[in-house]
Amino acid sequence: MANTVKMTPTNEKDIGMNGKLSGDDYDVGDLHDDRALLRRVDWRILPVMFLTYFLQFVDKISLNYANVMGLQDDLHMSGNDFSWLATAFFLAYAVAEIPQGILLQRFPITKVLGVNVFLWGVILCCSAAAQNFAGMIALRVLLGMLEAVIAPALTMYTSMWYTRAESTPRYGFWYCGLGMGQIVGGLISFAAQHAPPNMSFHGWRIMFVVIGVVNVVASILVLFVLPENVEKAKFLSQTERDRIAQRLRDDQAGVGQKVFRWGSVMEAFGDLQSWLLVLLTILITIPSGVITTFSSILIKNFGYTSKQSALLNMPSGVVSIAATTLSTWAIARGFSRWLAIDVLLIPTLLGSCLMSFLPRSNQAGCLVGIYMVNTTVAPLALIFAWTGANFKGYTMKVTGSSLVSAAFSIANVIGPQTFQAKDAPAYIPAKITIVAVNAGAIVVSSVLRIVYGRRNARADRLGTPARSRMEGKLANGRMAEEDVQDDVNFRYVY
């Protein structure tokens, strides 16, 4: 059995002159690695975070599966109507980042997230009752507004518990919910397509109801299982809560005090890293958005049936999980984040070429291309981890996470619009776009590494915290928010 942390009361005498907890409260070894403490935190919060991210992705990809289950015929859609369903969702997703960010500033993260999960579950159930394109697009807009909270909320929540070195594999864990969503979504679609054809309540409607109900149940777990913050984590002793807070201060991590500062917003908007992360997210997400929305129809166009398309889409989830797990595992052991992104984008680029330029008669090659493109999912997890690690203070973390999430939604607007009805069934312009943006993403990731490296080198030379020039001018007004000691030791991770 794992060693447990000794639970003794903490008082002012336990804290040394340097602000660190004394070793008397912990067994030797626990003070250094805290593995038992981290395991307790992991088992409490990570399964719920994984479930939440898994379900929101199933919500998104359910439209992909509904497309081959007769949704367009049932709702009398034509032309680019289906592309606009995906576009409307992500337009709403982008616009809602601002109000959702404000809610995350003012209220506990778990409460904001839990209420949103409950509401989007209800909306998804209502989607089963849609009778026309107008009704469905209205519901997709509402769904996009609610799901906009997911990435900023989980990014912020992870930063509340783990140091920057520890956070990357945890980001990877809950982000694997995306790959699991691809696998389970395919099974749900396959099962729903076996409903009797003479039923008025068609298979895609059954699928929406099932997924919606599960989301409603999951919202209860978010609201009542996840602690609002470290201080309110009743499953930990006071000594353990103090230890987590101290570890985050020593690492220059965490979110600091929950204080909103306009100066920090200006720092984030004026920081070159923000816009490089935004551009990188857009370039990486365009292929991901295309695969999320159109992979089933692309597979069907290779000559497979709707049921076969649902099952053949499932290996994409396996690729997503494998790429995310391997990359975050490597980073936890010292592999560079920027290099991991570039390595992951190489099979994405090769898969894009296979999918784009092989003849459709080469079914195996085209399928392999679609599967390889799914390695683009893993870099998105690394970008979320970068954002959580390299933005300091509560306001900057919320702003940075919201910018990246907005970029994610913008890319998902662009992706579906590259698939125009006039280009069917080959969609050559869309496939060429996927190839081009992947090549661009490799360049931007490398540039970001150079920016971080230069800032760290300048900080080493001057003996100051690593930061942008604008942040240096405004830093004095943010020190209270950061709630960190020895800020001079902060360095960007890359």
d(CA 289, CA 63): 12
Q: Which pLDDT tens digit goes with each residue over 446-476?
A: 999 999 888 888 888 877 777 776 666 665 5
The DSSP code sequence of 364-431 is HHHHHHHHHHGGGHHHHHHHHHHHHHHS-SHHHHHHHHHHHHHHHHHHHHHHHHTS-GGGTTT-HHHH
Most confident listed range (42-51, 90-99, 375-384, 465-474): 42-51
Most confident listed range (32-36, 76-80, 366-370): 366-370
Residue 260: HSE in the Cβ half-sphere, 13 Å Cα cutoff: 10
pLDDT-derived band at 275 (thresholds 50, 70, 90) equals: very high
d(CA 479, CA 483): 7
The pLDDT, as a whole number, for residue 20 is 34
Of the candidates 197, 202, 187, 199, the one whose C-alpha atom is nearest the C-alpha of residue 307 is 187
In a domain, 158, yes or no: yes
Q: Does the bond joining 425 to the residue before it have cis omega, within 30 degrees of 0?
A: yes
In a domain, 48, yes or no: yes
Total domains, the chain: 1
Higher pLDDT, 359 or 46: 46
Q: Which pLDDT tens digit goes with each residue over 314-355?
A: 898 899 999 999 988 888 888 888 888 989 889 988 888 887
d(CA 475, CA 488): 12
The pLDDT, as a whole number, for residue 14 is 35
Work out the average pLDDT over 114-134.
Answer: 92
Locus of tokens 């619009």: 417
In a domain, 62, yes or no: yes
Most confident listed range (13-17, 119-123, 254-258): 119-123
Locus of tokens 């020593």: 250
In a domain, 169, yes or no: yes
In a domain, 234, yes or no: no
d(CA 122, CA 209): 9
Locus of tokens 């994409």: 316
% pLDDT > 70, the chain: 84
The pLDDT, as a whole number, for residue 53 is 93
pLDDT-derived band at 200 (thresholds 50, 70, 90) equals: low
In a domain, 329, yes or no: yes
In a domain, 245, yes or no: no
pTM of the model: 0.77
In a domain, 97, yes or no: yes
Q: Residue 288: which domain range?
A: 31-228+251-484
Q: Which pLDDT tens digit goes with each residue over 307-321?
A: 888 888 889 889 999
- Give the CATH number, domain containing residue 35: 1.20.1250.20
Q: Which pLDDT tens digit goes with each residue over 20-41?
A: 333 333 333 344 458 888 899 9
